[in-house]
Amino acid sequence: MAKTPESKLGLAVMQVLASRSEYKAHVRTLIKGVPDHITLTEQDCKMSETRPNEQMWEQRVRNLKSHDKTTGNVIAEGLVKYLGKGMYQLTDSGVSHLKAKNLL
């Protein structure tokens, strides 16, 4: 089975943010919460070759900021904002997006 698409991983991140006070969370909280919102594939759960003790999906969550100009990335799409020092926040557009999908 292929890795989870960026869009589904981003949606899970947004759902974790939506469950937090002020829609804010640290990347560690995102990593703890993402598996509650998606079924990770075998590819997702492979160990990272560049980050010891981290699965590929965790690396992808940590890379949200570094890929923030990539189409489909929740930051690039204006759904999530990076606040600095590992902190993220769901934007008003992100809230509306989740409400439109009946996920909030």
Each residue's pLDDT tens digit, 9-45: 999 999 999 999 999 999 999 999 999 999 999 999 9
Q: Full-prediction pTM beyond 0.85?
A: yes
d(CA 55, CA 59): 6
d(CA 39, CA 86): 24
At 104, the pLDDT band (50, 70, 90 cuts) reads confident
The pLDDT value recorded for residue 1 is 73
What are 80's strand-pairing partners? 90
